[in-house]
Amino acid sequence: MKNFHIERPDESIREALIDKINNLTKPKGALGILEDLALQIGLIQQTLSPVLTHPHNVLFAADHGIVEERVSKSPKEITWQQLSNFLHGGAGVNFLCRQHGFKLLLVDAGVDYDLPYEKGIINCSVGRGTCNFLKGPAMSIEEMELCLKRGAQITDMIHADGCNVVSFGEMGIGNTSPSSIWMHLLTGISLEQCVGAGSGLDTDGIRHKYNVLKQSVDHYTGNGSVEDIMAWFGGYEMVMAIGGMLRAAELKMIILVDGFIMTNCILAASKLHPEVLSYAIFGHQGDEIGHKLVLDTMQVRPLLNLGLRLGEGTGAICAYPIVASSVNMLNEMDNFAHASITKYF
Note the pLDDT tens digit of each residue in 221-247.
999 999 999 999 999 999 999 999 999
| pLDDT score, position 240 | 98
| pLDDT score, position 200 | 81
Query: What one-character DSSP code corresponds to residue 230?
Result: H
Residues with pLDDT less than 50, the chain: none
| pLDDT score, position 145 | 98
| pLDDT score, position 133 | 98
pLDDT for 31-87, tens place per residue? 999 999 999 999 999 999 999 999 999 999 999 999 999 999 899 999 999 999 999
Per-chain mean pLDDT for the chain: 96
CATH of 11-50+329-339, one of 1.10.1610.10, 3.40.50.970, 3.20.20.80, 1.10.760.10: 1.10.1610.10
d(CA 42, CA 303): 18
d(CA 309, CA 322): 20
Domain boundaries, the chain: 11-50+329-339, 56-322
In degrees rounded to 5, what are phi and psi of residue 166?
-135, 135
Rg (CA), the chain: 20
User: Residues 6 or more apart from 23 whose CB is under 8 A from it?
Assistant: 335, 336, 337, 343
User: CATH fold of 56-322, please?
Assistant: Rossmann fold (3.40.50)
| pLDDT score, position 199 | 75
Active site members: 312
